[in-house]
Amino acid sequence: MSRYTIDSKPGIEIVVGWDPPLRSLFAQVSDCTITDDEADPMLLWEDFGSIDELASAIAPWATLPDDIRQTLAVESGEKPARRPPAFERPESVVFSGQRCRVLQAVFPHGGIALQLFTDDNTRAPFATATVCIPAYAIRENSQTALVKDYEENAGMLEALTTAGIVRPTGRRVKSGFVELHVVDVLPAGEARS
């Protein structure tokens, strides 16, 4: 039986693993701050049939780290979910005075990844337009992305919107001291309306 401890909120202990005899994944979440002998410190103690089910169950307390996810996949024999291949979008973007092409992919935790590279002979990486925050429930819409529009990426949201690549939702997500713009990524080549 494997056991992996996951970092969580203070006072919460999370252990996940693979139980070969039972052929199941498991998660245990305990509240270590409970000192009353009559109160049950166990918040969750369950077996799961898939890594995604396990990750969803512990989501209120922590995100299942990629390295543990991969280890559990190897131990349990679960094949990782297949992500669509990355592709170059037909639209071009003008950002910070540079004409760029856009490579679209999917982050491991879900959500669209957009990478800008120069539209010239060098095809050099120019800017990363989106970021991934695993704790953000981006799976609600597989065409959702978080755009970084500050510091070296100031103006990114406007550039992507003008090019017809994204549509702002008006929502924002806090990440540390900054906010990220939640956008819907439009299908490649869709005419702007």
The candidate with the shortest Cα–Cα distance to 155, out of 177, 117, 129, 184, is 129
CA 122 remoteness from chain centre:
30
Helix (H, G, I), strand (E, B) or coil at 139: helix
Tens of pLDDT along 139-193? 445 688 999 999 999 999 999 999 999 999 999 988 889 999 999 999 987 655 4
pTM: 0.58
Q: Where do the domains of the chain lie?
A: 4-76, 87-185
Task: Please state at what angle helix 51-58 crosses helix 66-76, rounded to 10 degrees.
Answer: 140
- In this predicted structure, the answer to whether residue 55 has a pLDDT above a threshold of 60 is yes
CA–CA dist 19, 26 (Å, integer): 7
Predicted confidence at residue 193, as pLDDT, reads 43
For tokens 């169950």, name the residue.
57
Q: How many residues does the chain have?
A: 193
- The better pLDDT of the pair 73, 156 is held by 156
Residue 150 structure tokens:
């500050």
C-alpha distances (whole Å) from 9 to each of 17, 30, 84 are 19, 11, 33
Look at the block and give the residue holding tokens 């969750």. Answer: 44
pLDDT of residue 192: 52
- In angstroms, rounded to a whole number, what is the distance separating the alpha carbons of residues 68 and 12? 18
Residues facing residue 184 across a β-bridge: 144, 167
pLDDT digits (tens, 9 = 90+) for 93-142: 999 999 999 999 887 666 788 999 999 888 889 999 999 876 664 544 56
CB 29 within 8 A of CB 61: yes
